[in-house]
Amino acid sequence: MLGVAAGLSLVVAIGAGCSSSGSSTASKGSDTTAAASGSGSASGSGGSASGCTDATNGEVKVVTKNFDFNPTCITVTGNRLKVTYDNQEAGVKHNIDFKDLKSSSGAAKTDLKAGPDTETVTLVDLKPGTYTYVCDIHANMKGTLTVKAS
């Protein structure tokens, strides 16, 4: 019985750590321009029930709901990708961080904000390879971006 109470306390504590007391209004979004810094790294989950999502006209939307990215696997042909990131979890902080993709001002990621919130990040000068995207504070949230030469 004591073990069950301790387990419930841990779940409550973890849930509280993921919430925010700040505003939950959506931002108009920010645009971060990023360039690839190498050939990329192959890691992350990748794949979903419907397979990879192909970026249409160099654009893709990634949604967070129930502590999961949708899609978890993206493919793009070319050297540019505009990602619209939609955190649909009210009061829960998330972001999307494209590992190994950089810009002159820092990493290619959105701000860590409580939902609902929508932001954009534009990746440029992409090189063929497989890259990982993650939520910086939820290790189980990850996906892959595969860049194909045009």
The CATH number, out of the four listed (3.40.50.620, 2.60.40.420, 3.10.25.10, 3.40.50.1700), of the domain defined by the range 2-148: 2.60.40.420
Tell me if 52 sits within 8 A of 60, measured CB to CB. Answer: no
Which residues, in sequence order, are bridge partners of residue 132? 144
Amino acid at 145: L
Query: Where along the chain do its domains lie?
Result: 2-148
Structure tokens belonging to residue 141? 């949230």
Parallel, antiparallel or unpaired: strands 117-124 and 59-64: unpaired
Per-residue pLDDT tens digits of the chain, which is 150 residues long: 444 444 434 333 334 333 333 333 333 344 444 444 333 333 333 333 447 999 999 999 999 999 999 999 999 999 989 999 999 999 999 999 998 886 534 569 999 999 999 999 999 889 999 999 999 999 999 999 999 998
* Cα angle 32-59-76, degrees, rounded to a multiple of 5: 100
